[in-house]
Chain A
Amino acid sequence: MIGGLFIYNHKGEVLISRVYRDDIGRNAVDAFRVNVIHARQQVRSPVTNIARTSFFHVKRSNIWLAAVTKQNVNAAMVFEFLYKMCDVMTAYFGKISEENIKNNFVLIYELLDEILDFGYPQNSETGALKTFITQQGIKSQHHTKEEQSQITSQVTGQIGWRREGIKYRRNELFLDVLESVNLLMSPQGQVLSAHVSGRVVMKSYLSGMPECKFGMNDKIVIDKQGKGGTTDEAGKSELGGSSGKQSIAIDDCTFHQCVRLSKFDSERSISFIPPDGEYELMRYRTTKDIILPFRVIPLVREVGRTKLEVKVVIKSNFKPSLLAQKIEVRIPTPLNTSGVQVICMKGKAKYKASENAIVWKIKRMAGMKESQISAEIELLPTNDKKKWARPPISMNFEVPFAPSGLKVRYLKVFEPKLNYSDHDVIKWVRYIGRSGIYETRC
């Protein structure tokens, strides 16, 4: 199991050092600094073995988190734990920075004591942790006996992510379907790979211990219902989704630990008792029938040894009534660029020497439109034999629909003990499609 956990600043100075196992000595702290943080070469692996001691590290801005062990630990678990540790810290004090870590080092030690015991990760749900690890310096007597047992049963219980007795005057929930659409296209316009990775983020402000059931236009469910002949009453698109005729094929999905996985496995229904506040209900991935919001058509011509001509056309490919926002096209330029002249039809374009790219920004663009940029790039003559790698042209944008075609069909809420019904809950759904790695080779 995890033998110790260290946090360093960018210089390699230790900010936090917690050792859990006897086989990890103080020298391990230095070994990591010398061999990884101060290493001359770029990091070649997130796992490093130094003198039979293994170091796992992740970096958040310029802070290094390293877990160390001498045993054959579950490597995936160690990384998951490190990410979780980052989440917990962020939930407590915001951004992970040297300043914040130093200011909260007592809290961090307290957290590390609680969520790792002898190197075994324990309950690390912020919701639960915040009930008894606070920065208030509460005295142990503050809690009543009931409160105490409520804390412990929540920390160890089946529903570790939600406490009892939550009350809201207005029961309300927000669903965000956030998708990132990824594309790799060849210069000729052939899709080399495309996938959508999506997340359903829920903000719940519900009283009591509500039972929720979530439905979407999952092909498997729709097909099953179609065959059965009877349409589930829930099939009515109550949440403003479109006709619900189309269904989408989900390649794979993963769920927050509140979702009953065995039920999903057997019935493909998504039921759960949600945590209070914001959390990520599910993640999913699709590869079929993706709506690619933009198409990039590049044209690069080398004119002699000192000049490049670049023309890039972008076409929007969605309903004309919808508007894409925050559009940015990034056209890489060679390292020996001496000057660039740009002409674009729409938006603003600038050559950014520090980023070795022409950045073209358009605030808004409606569907089924087209725009174009052309640039002349002057090059300095070089002796460098190495060819310019021609990195792909990348794009950023935001569109108000889900490129995967996912639609929320329903989210039903039952709270048998309190007297509010599904109809009393105010529900909001929003779809946002963003560019992930959206690249076209040139």
Chain B
Amino acid sequence: MTDSKYFTTTKKGEIFELKAELNSDKKEKKKEAVKKVIASMTVGKDVSALFPDVVNCMQTDNLELKKLVYLYLMNYAKSQPDMAIMAVNTFVKDCEDPNPLIRALAVRTMGCIRVDKITEYLCEPLRKCLKDEDPYVRKTAAVCVAKLHDINAQLVEDQGFLDTLKDLISDSNPMVVANAVAALSEIAESHPNSNLLDLNPQTINKLLTALNECTEWGQIFILDCLANYTPRDDRESQSICERVTPRLSHANSAVVLSAVKVLMKFMEMLPKDLDYYGTLLKKLAPPLVTLLSAEPELQYVALRNINLIVQKRPEILKHEMKVFFVKYNDPIYVKLEKLDIMIRLASQANIAQVLAELKEYATEVDVDFVRKAVRAIGRCAIKVEQSAERCVSTLLDLIQTKVNYVVQEAIVVIKDIFRKYPNKYESVIATLCENLDSLDEPEARAAMIWIVGEYAERIDNADELLESFLEGFHDESTQVQLQLLTAIVKLFLKKPTETQELVQQVLSLATQDSDNPDLRDRGYIYWRLLSTDPVAAKEVVLAEKPLISEETDLIEPTLLDELICHIGTLASVYHKPPSAFVEGGRGVQHKRLPARAGSGESAESPDVGQAVSAVSDAPPAVIPSQGDLLGDLLNLDLAPPTSNVPPVPSSMQMGAMDLLGGGLDSLMGDESETSASHYRTEVQSPQPPECSERELGGDVGGSPAMGVSLGGAPVGMPAGLGAAPAVGGGLGDLFDLGGGVGVTAGSYIPPKTVWLPAMKAKGLEISGTFARRSGVIHMDLSFTNKAMSVMTDFAIQFNKNSFGLAPAGPLQVLTPLSPNQTVDVSLPLSTTGPVMKMEPLNNLQVAVKNNIDVFYFSCQYPISLLFVEDGKMDRQVFLATWKDIPSENEAQFQIKDCHLNSDAASNKLQGSNIFTVAKRTVDTQDMLYQSVKLTNGIWMLAELRIQTGNPNSTLSVKCRAPEVSQYVYQCYELILRN
């Protein structure tokens, strides 16, 4: 009979029988009995009642029997702590045994018995074993310290075991070193701030030496520990890398991956122009590819890691596309991961091959895999523009297969392709429409509805198609309902005459019959937009959409960096930081990549500057393709440029009337013009699903007319809404009426000051100021005759000055100036005169002549005089310029006692041609990004931070000619305070 019989005993009274056998005199019988006990324990039976009998078998010279008894002890000691003490004596005795195997066994087992009383007895034997002459005992004792620490951390510290453990790092035996490193690393994890491991160049050197000599597992412990070290400089980093690279040829994949982790991390510190950096990059590819010939489970781990590596350093594997081609017999988890990496590696160079592969995959059996393959084709189209056409035709082929899930998936991705390449592939719409009936998944339905709405003007029966969806409106998922609502509104705006009924139907379905707040809100917004101002509605709903981004599924850079530090571990498999799946505080400190040497980019302005410099280091791929850098970086609550609606000229009114046809025009009346012209909206139209719908609630500058016109809501508008006060309130919330509107304020004109006192000019007093009116600079002068005689023959001349100001015409003082008479003259100035730098910069030396004499005076003009009307910079340009201007050119100022909120300030400044390019709000602080252009073409960029309730604001000015900054600041102060 063989041992398998022990698994089948199910008799009654078994325990009793076993008890008898355990106490038998015959050694063989005893052993058999213990085996039975262990077998029962394994299958989950409770054999704890046999505790004393089993422990009695412990005193034996049969090693095999001893091990079985120990196994039993480890399992049940915790439930029978008192009886477990019976075993202590044997353990202590065994720790003195001449046979090192027995000493090690005893100390190893003792550490696994989690009973307080036993741990007390463990300390002395452990101390001895840590200094045992035999390396086998020492390596076992090293791990035992970690065990004891897990039971009673304080005890380990008090007993000084940590120091002994640290000493073992210098042990002569490599395996002892490896286990000590493993134990220390684990203990260190639960004391994040302790300097337990104390990695310094000396210990690192010891570890690297042990690395060459210890077992494959020991190499993993050491490499994982090395990865936590941060070298002092790039030279140390390189020398460690050089000693770690041989590990890439190890047969054990875990050794290879841990080595890759160390290299990926330390590479961060190497200068990119270093030859070694390139060598290292080249060395990394082959071992990663080799990992793909490992067993499937390891391939999976490797692929999850490669996915991270490809995102961090795409250059490593860019030529290795083929190895990621899916094999027919790959397990599904390997197939899906390979597909993911294929898309990441797809480029113009290999797209033909990739597409051919993807097409093959789309005919496979596994539904998930096929879907992902179809989706991948769409992603290729978006990623590699040259391939878009081929991708679309491949997708059409797939649609022809009529396989339901393939068709649906294809429609979802075609919608994305439309978003990326508008007005290019619309010819396929007819084919898509044929498959309308087969769509049963919400995502596909929503995508199809979006397409119909977006291209309603080209689809003859768009209204019928949409109407067919409307029938089961309430059974649809929210995604489909929202899309249907938007699509019908679009349709209405495009074909108002035939679809009025449809739009009212959907609006009332959305607002009255639905209990979904998102749907109702969107319904109301459309309703009001349509009833208030169809022109605006058109601008909003049919606005050009920003192009969609190429790489939407990249891991966020900081997380990616953290995951790179966890290569090979579970975190890298899950693509989640350890804190997401590990309980308690163990091992959840965030790891970070070291900084590259010499990348000491000084922070610029505290906020923007950092954001900008961070970007220059970050992988560029994450930035959405629409190039809305600023929007993304500064998290501006602005819409992309395309949806910026310029003030609608009054000629648009015709369009509005057309659009409205008969039904609505009476509602509009005269107001449509005013409301339209005031409508400086920055709303984004509702986007298809992948673009955040939440943006809808943007910063709509409501028009003053809106509240009024709402009174006349269309027929069928719920009564409660028709009531003005309720509406006003609601709108205020929705549209944030407060800001943004405001009548454009004129530029600020300082009061006249006396430039030339009468005393100095033989009775002629000149006071004056400067003003900029409709793009022309004027010098407003008052001449007062305080002398006794008449003054005639006035003329004026300027000295050369910083900005080339010069009179654009002769001074027109027509009448002779009688005593005590004052005449006001406005002298237009040009900026084409001779230029000479003045001190201060805005100084202007003037000579005025009359029949009596020539008088000289100097005056200072506010530099805002020179701010031109076309000084609004494009946002991308702004960001690029801001980055481009060195940080030394930045100046910061405090503006005190300015009680304006950001919108008012922005308005006021705009009057003086200081344009707000973007605005961002962080907590209570508003940041305005502004641009100014001078007459001589110099651009000035400014960041104005206004804290709600704080009269002091901060102004940062960046300019290629930094000497101007100070004057700009003066202007700000002048404008804002007055």
Measuring CB to CB, which residues of chain A are less than 8 angstroms from any residue of chain B? Answer: 1, 13-17, 19-23, 26, 29, 42-47, 49, 52, 54, 56-58, 69-77, 79-83, 99, 102-106, 109-110, 113, 117-118, 120-125, 132, 137-141, 143, 145, 148-149, 151-153, 155-158, 160, 184, 186, 192-193, 195, 197, 251-257, 260-262, 264-265, 280, 282-283, 285, 385-387, 389-392, 394, 437, 439, 441
| Further pairs besides A47-B574, A105-B3, A437-B329: 18, Cβ < 8 Å | A47-B570, A49-B574, A52-B581, A74-B258, A75-B570, A75-B573, A76-B302, A99-B4, A106-B3, A118-B112, A120-B217, A123-B217, A124-B217, A125-B215, A140-B102, A156-B173, A257-B250, A389-B364
Q: Which of B137, B220, B356, B578 has the most CB of A within 10 A?
A: B220
A261 close to B572 (CB less than 8 A):
no
- Across-interface contacts of A21 in B (CB, < 8 A): 150
Q: Which of B64-72, B520-528, B749-757, B782-790 makes up part of the contact surface? A: B64-72
Give 14 A-B contacts (CB < 8 Å), ordered by A residue: A1-B182, A42-B332, A44-B333, A52-B582, A56-B297, A71-B586, A106-B68, A139-B63, A140-B61, A141-B61, A148-B101, A261-B212, A262-B212, A282-B251
- Across-interface contacts of B246 in A (CB, < 8 A): 261-262, 264-265
- Across-interface contacts of A137 in B (CB, < 8 A): 31, 62, 64-65
Partner pick for A184 among B4, B99, B286, B325, CB 8 A cutoff: B325
How many Å lie between the Cα of A439 and that of B98 in the bound state? Answer: 61
How many Å lie between the Cα of A197 and that of B215 in the bound state? Answer: 25
Measuring CB to CB, which residues of chain B are less than 8 angstroms from any residue of chain A? Answer: 2-4, 6-7, 31, 35, 38-39, 42-44, 61-68, 70-71, 75, 97-102, 108, 111-112, 114, 134-137, 139-140, 143-144, 146-147, 150-151, 173-176, 179, 182, 186, 212-217, 220-221, 224, 243, 245-247, 249-254, 256-258, 286-287, 289-290, 293, 295-298, 300-302, 322-323, 325, 327-329, 331-333, 353, 356-357, 360, 363-365, 401-404, 566, 568-574, 578, 581-583, 586-588
How many Å lie between the Cα of A117 and that of B142 in the bound state? Answer: 10
A387 close to B566 (CB less than 8 A):
no
- Across-interface contacts of A265 in B (CB, < 8 A): 245-246, 249
Q: Would A254 and B251 be within 8 Å (CB), given that A72-B569, A77-B220, A143-B99 are in contact?
A: yes
B249 close to A73 (CB less than 8 A):
no
Min Cβ gap A256→B in Å is: 6
A103 close to B98 (CB less than 8 A):
no
Min Cβ gap A100→B in Å is: 9
Q: Which of A16, A26, A29, A261 has the most CB of B within 10 A?
A: A261
- Across-interface contacts of A23 in B (CB, < 8 A): 583
How many Å lie between the Cα of A149 and that of B134 in the bound state? Answer: 7
- Across-interface contacts of B42 in A (CB, < 8 A): 14-17, 105
How many Å lie between the Cα of A385 and that of B573 in the bound state? Answer: 37
Min Cβ gap B404→A in Å is: 8
Closest A residue, CB atoms, query B405: A386
How many Å lie between the Cα of A16 and that of B356 in the bound state? Answer: 47
How many Å lie between the Cα of A143 and that of B102 in the bound state? Answer: 12
How many Å lie between the Cα of A77 and that of B568 in the bound state? Answer: 8
A145 close to B68 (CB less than 8 A):
no
Closest B residue, CB atoms, query A1: B186
Across chains A and B, which 6 residue pairs bring their CB atoms closest together, nearest first? A102-B4, A252-B286, A152-B136, A76-B254, A265-B246, A77-B254
Closest A residue, CB atoms, query B28: A137
Q: Which of A120, A265, A389, A390 has the most CB of B within 10 A?
A: A120
A74 close to B569 (CB less than 8 A):
yes
Q: Would A285 and B67 be within 8 Å (CB), given that A79-B298, A140-B99, A192-B322 are in contact?
A: no
A-B contact count (CB 8 A): 298
A45 close to B333 (CB less than 8 A):
yes
B147 close to A70 (CB less than 8 A):
no
Q: Which of B64, B221, B253, B295 has the most CB of A within 10 A?
A: B64
How many Å lie between the Cα of A256 and that of B255 in the bound state? Answer: 12
Closest B residue, CB atoms, query A45: B333
Closest B residue, CB atoms, query A110: B67
B298 close to A118 (CB less than 8 A):
no
A47 close to B249 (CB less than 8 A):
no
Query: What DSSP secondary structure best describes chain A's contact surface?
Result: mixed
Q: Would A76 and B365 be within 8 Å (CB), given that A118-B143, A132-B101, A156-B176 are in contact?
A: no
Closest A residue, CB atoms, query B363: A389
Closest B residue, CB atoms, query A72: B578
B254 close to A74 (CB less than 8 A):
yes
Min Cβ gap A102→B in Å is: 3
A391 close to B150 (CB less than 8 A):
no
Min Cβ gap A31→B in Å is: 14
- Across-interface contacts of A17 in B (CB, < 8 A): 42
Partner pick for B147 among A43, A110, A118, A392, CB 8 A cutoff: A118
How many Å lie between the Cα of A289 and that of B517 in the bound state? Answer: 65
How many Å lie between the Cα of A46 and that of B301 in the bound state? Answer: 9
- Across-interface contacts of A118 in B (CB, < 8 A): 111-112, 143-144, 146-147
B174 close to A152 (CB less than 8 A):
no
Min Cβ gap A25→B in Å is: 11
Min Cβ gap B131→A in Å is: 15
Q: Which of A14, A102, A153 has the most CB of B within 10 A?
A: A102
Closest A residue, CB atoms, query B336: A44
B328 close to A437 (CB less than 8 A):
yes
A184 close to B61 (CB less than 8 A):
no
B570 close to A123 (CB less than 8 A):
no
How many Å lie between the Cα of A79 and that of B573 in the bound state? Answer: 12
B328 close to A392 (CB less than 8 A):
yes
B301 close to A76 (CB less than 8 A):
yes
- Across-interface contacts of B327 in A (CB, < 8 A): 184, 437, 439
Q: Would A120 and B182 be within 8 Å (CB), given that A56-B297, A184-B325 are in contact?
A: yes
How many Å lie between the Cα of A280 and that of B68 in the bound state? Answer: 34
Q: Would A255 and B173 be within 8 Å (CB), given that A72-B570, A106-B38 are in contact?
A: no
- Across-interface contacts of B43 in A (CB, < 8 A): 13-14
- Across-interface contacts of B114 in A (CB, < 8 A): 22
- Across-interface contacts of A138 in B (CB, < 8 A): 63-64
B64 close to A45 (CB less than 8 A):
no
B323 close to A193 (CB less than 8 A):
yes
- Across-interface contacts of A110 in B (CB, < 8 A): 64, 67
A109 close to B68 (CB less than 8 A):
yes
Closest B residue, CB atoms, query A120: B182
How many Å lie between the Cα of A260 and that of B247 in the bound state? Answer: 10
Partner pick for A152 among B135, B365, B570, CB 8 A cutoff: B135
How many Å lie between the Cα of A172 and that of B84 in the bound state? Answer: 54
How many Å lie between the Cα of A137 and that of B68 in the bound state? Answer: 12
Q: Would A46 and B300 be within 8 Å (CB), given that A72-B578, A117-B108, A261-B246 are in contact?
A: yes
- Across-interface contacts of B68 in A (CB, < 8 A): 106, 109
B63 close to A83 (CB less than 8 A):
no
- Across-interface contacts of A139 in B (CB, < 8 A): 61-63
B136 close to A156 (CB less than 8 A):
yes
B290 close to A386 (CB less than 8 A):
no
- Across-interface contacts of A261 in B (CB, < 8 A): 212, 246-247, 249-250
B250 close to A120 (CB less than 8 A):
no
Q: Would A71 and B582 be within 8 Å (CB), given that A110-B67, A140-B102, A441-B360 are in contact?
A: yes
B252 close to A80 (CB less than 8 A):
yes
How many Å lie between the Cα of A260 and that of B31 in the bound state? Answer: 45
- Across-interface contacts of A109 in B (CB, < 8 A): 38, 67-68, 71
Q: Would A148 and B297 be within 8 Å (CB), given that A139-B63, A157-B173 are in contact?
A: no
Q: Which of A47, A76, A123, A160 has the most CB of B within 10 A?
A: A76
Partner pick for B175 among A14, A123, A251, CB 8 A cutoff: A123
- Across-interface contacts of A441 in B (CB, < 8 A): 360
How many Å lie between the Cα of A132 and that of B63 in the bound state? Answer: 10
B301 close to A79 (CB less than 8 A):
yes
Closest A residue, CB atoms, query B364: A389
- Across-interface contacts of A1 in B (CB, < 8 A): 182, 186
A254 close to B135 (CB less than 8 A):
no
